[in-house]
Structure 1
Amino acid sequence: MKEELIGKVAMTTENGTDWERLRNMGDAEIHASAMADPDAQPTDENFWKHAKLVFPEAKETVTIRLDSEMLSWFKGQGKGYQTRINSVLCAYMNAQSNHNQQNR
């Protein structure tokens, strides 16, 4: 992994980002790139009239015993393994809730 010191923080280039090209982009090129991204379109006043601030639910810290093979697999998927485990457990919970509602 190549590291480059930027300010007091070492930035890694492992993800393939061309930081030098980004530093050399002008405002017009940055704007054109943002406008070309379908997920980053500008919003209008109508959007903000109906927007609602939503805070994520607080998470609870717990200690849980997990199989080492399973934990290694989740960790091997990259950053955010705890979030992924939480998502899998939530999906299971929701599937069980749906299953139980259908069987009533």
Structure 2
Amino acid sequence: MPPDVQAEIDALAASQAPIRTDLIPEATGDWSQGQRGLFYRPVKQQITLRLDADLIDWFKRNHPQGEGYQTSINRALREYIAQHQRWTR
């Protein structure tokens, strides 16, 4: 973290002034049209990965509309990691 940002955080943490949340307007808008992850793009790394042909075929036939099959494979790998992460800690 840059030193100037850390200094600001430290100053806020040391401050005795209460945070006035009553001055912050409540977000009451309609969020039904919101798009999750619209601006977040994780860094991608191009690799060569050999997968069984039937796996690739399944993902190509079953990926959600508007999403590529490689994105579906990436999501499946993330779900696998999330389920198995507790075992490696």
More strand by share: 1
Bigger relative CO (Cα 8 Å, ≥ 6 apart): 2
Q: TM-score, normalised by structure 2?
A: 0.49
